[in-house]
Amino acid sequence: MTDPADSPAVRRLADWDAPTLESLAEEYETPLYVIDLDRVAENYARFSAAFPDADVMYAAKAHTGNAVLETILATGGDIECAAWGELQRSIDAGADPNTLQYTAVNPPDRDLDYATDLAADAPGLTITIGATDTLERLAERGYDGRIAIRINPGIGTGHHEKVATGADAKFGIPYERVPAVADRVREGFDLVGLHAHVGSGVLRDGLEEHCRALARVGEMARRVGDEELEFVDVGGGYGVPYREDEPPLDLAETAEKIREAVGEIDATLKLEPGRYVVADAGLILTTVNTIKEAPDTTVVGVDASLSTLIRPAMFGSYHPMLNVSAPDRESIEATVGGPVCTSADVFAHDRPIAGPERGDVLAIGNAGSYGYELANQFHSQPRPAEVALEDGESRVVRRRETLEDVTRLER
């Protein structure tokens, strides 16, 4: 693994080796997810090095693939989970359940059943609650263990309104109610921490507002007695530049501003990067199957779709694109879309791309975060395979689905 100090802060799509990507597409077919595990380890190590006195937990929801979780654990990292399935997958990857943190958001009964059963044999498991209802439901299950309170600071940040969780009533205890809830937790549980997650995809432009929210978290920690808390968890949300002209997050500046915002606390600071660790470590390879000249654009049809990567349709997200078959060919303005029967199934509008031809392989960058996690089977499309790169070798870590996989549960 590259030393964190020598590892570049961002890996642009152009930094990937085009011939290698084209050979992967030929060997494993498309659409194809590619995840570089060496880059995952580098990103985690670089983030951790910026916060040497903090506990850094990987937010599993960004990419729960077994190979990714195993890589995080091999670096010495811990894992934060948002659902029972993520808890189980972390354990399957080798995590000690005593090190896991479960952030319950309106948890179904099966989630709480699983978590409390797990905690019976793993008392180190921490459950983060965002509603007093959850406390009652935990008590009904005989749980009296480690609890963290999720704060709603009333300030949300991030790349899209759908991820600005810090101002969304769905998430966390309303700010002024936290002291009373802390007293209630202490009566029947072990209050070990406070938690907040303000938003997702934060870069320098959103850092000031992000830190304004974290200042409220630090203030609340001192109000409820930070000297009695084990940790104050300020969540994740640290972004990567999706657009080619966006600068990467300055981690040294970010760490300094976060420490300053939270202020003096006796508890350990915790952070939960997810996107930062895996986004630029992954991409999608897709093959051009259609070229159509339209009055206002050239439509380039590919075999990936919104069932492969839904972020552009869901969030209007920008993902860089590269023609890896002919990166030096003269560029044209192209609209790139997939085979799904909706106008939302478009990856790029009027984007300069090196003149695509039928059979060319295109790469869609920054797909390591919330890419495969949100993949689906719309139009009865089997989900793609995923190939991992590590130490110069490639291997399939998730096989391509078949139509039989899609229909299996109907039988």
pLDDT at residue 2 in the model: 61
| Closest alpha carbon to 398 in 72, 62, 67 | 67
**352 plus 391 within the same structural domain:** yes
**259 plus 121 within the same structural domain:** yes
pLDDT at residue 5 in the model: 63
Q: How many domains does the chain have?
A: 2
**292 plus 239 within the same structural domain:** no
Alpha helix positions (H), 51-156: 66-74, 84-92, 109-121, 132-140
What are the structure tokens assigned to 48, written together?
């951790």
- Give, rounded to a whole angstrom, the gap between the first and last alpha carbons of the chain: 46
Cα(224)–Cα(229) distance, rounded to whole angstroms?
9
Last residue of a domain, one of 256, 273, 290: 273
What is the domain range of residue 397? 280-410
Asked, for residue 346, whether it belongs to a domain, the answer is yes
Q: Which residues contact 180 (CB under 8 A, 6 or more apart)?
A: none
- Could you tell me which residues are annotated as the binding site for pyridoxal 5'-phosphate? 237, 272-275, 370
CATH of the domain at 166: 3.20.20.10
Cα(289)–Cα(321) distance, rounded to whole angstroms?
16
Cα(355)–Cα(366) distance, rounded to whole angstroms?
22
SS3 category, 112: helix
CB-CB neighbours of 358 under 10 Å: 11
- Could you tell me which residues are annotated as the binding site for substrate? 275, 311, 370
Tell whether pTM > 0.85.
yes
Residue of 5, 169, 294, 341 with catalytic role = 341
Q: How many CA atoms lie within 13 A of 120 on its CB side?
A: 8
Give the DSSP H/E element, type plus range, for residue 319.
Answer: none
Cα(266)–Cα(48) distance, rounded to whole angstroms?
20
SS3 category, 272: coil
- Could you tell me which residues are annotated as the binding site? 237, 272-275, 311, 370
pLDDT at residue 153 in the model: 86
**120 plus 259 within the same structural domain:** yes
pLDDT at residue 168 in the model: 60
**309 plus 384 within the same structural domain:** yes
341 given a catalytic annotation: yes
Do β-strands 321-323 and 361-364 pair in parallel, antiparallel, or remain unpaired? antiparallel
**Rounded alpha-carbon distances, angstroms, from residue 80 to 88, 103, 135:** 12, 7, 19
Which residues of the chain fall short of a pLDDT of 70?
1-5, 155-169
Last residue of a domain, one of 226, 255, 273: 273
**Cβ atoms of 384 and 306 closer than 8 Å:** no
